[in-house]
Amino acid sequence: MLLLELFWSFVKIGFTSFGGLSMIPLISSEMISHGWMTASEVSDIVAIAEMTPGPLGLNCATFAGMRAAGIFGAFVANLGALSPTFTLCFMAAIFFEHFKENKKLAQIMTGVRPACVGMVAGIVIELALVNYSDVNSKIHLPSLILGVVDLILLLKFKISIPVVILFSALVGVIMFGVIGV
């Protein structure tokens, strides 16, 4: 039953998101509502999925499925996440010329894009509350400073994401492991 629930959850995620970052709020909601993960565990999975090669949504599905039901859970979650993509791509390939000139589809996408940005903004706020606060829900200043430094490295200095992740991991080991800030 768990595998079927996991498959169905990721089918819903696949059909109601457009891959990548827009999947994260839905994955978070499904994992937490089923009790398969906590918000902190979802945050960890997003971080790991971002660091590993491959599409973010599939990486999240792999890690979430593995966490919920082991190797078969990972397989089923990926199958569920990919089913909508295969279905929609197949249909789009058949009707591509019709969709290209369809004004209604363009209007629909004009409404869907801001909704996706809103969902991503919502999960960013949710993850920020988890990652930049301590167990007493107070702002954890060292984590916040590290986040701001990372943002500056990415946006101002155009440092690559893997380098920033490695930098943050090293700072985390030193500050939070060795020093114990």
pLDDT tens digits, residue range 86-105? 888 888 778 766 776 888 87
pLDDT tens digits, 136-162: 889 999 999 999 999 999 999 999 999
Q: How far is CA 34 from CA 1, 8, 68, in A?
A: 13, 12, 10
Q: Exposed (0-12), middle (13-18) or buried (19+): which is 136, by Cβ within 10 Å?
A: exposed
Distance of alpha carbon 98 from alpha carbon 52, whole angstroms: 37
Q: What is the pLDDT of residue 177?
A: 79
- 176 vs 181: CA distance, rounded Å: 5
Banded pLDDT at 51 (limits 50, 70, 90): confident
- Tell me which DSSP letter residue 140 carries: -
Q: What is the pLDDT of residue 136?
A: 84
> How far apart are the C-alpha atoms of 81 and 93, rounded to whole Å?
19
At residue 104, the pLDDT reads 86
| pLDDT band at 73; cut points 50, 70, 90 | very high
- Write the single-letter amino acid at 93: A
pLDDT 10s digits, 58-69: 888 899 899 999
The structural domains of the chain, with segments of one domain joined by +, span: 2-131, 136-181
Residue pair 45/20 in contact by the 8 Å Cβ criterion: no
Give how far Cα 52 sits from Cα of 47, 59, 60, 66, Å.
9, 7, 10, 15
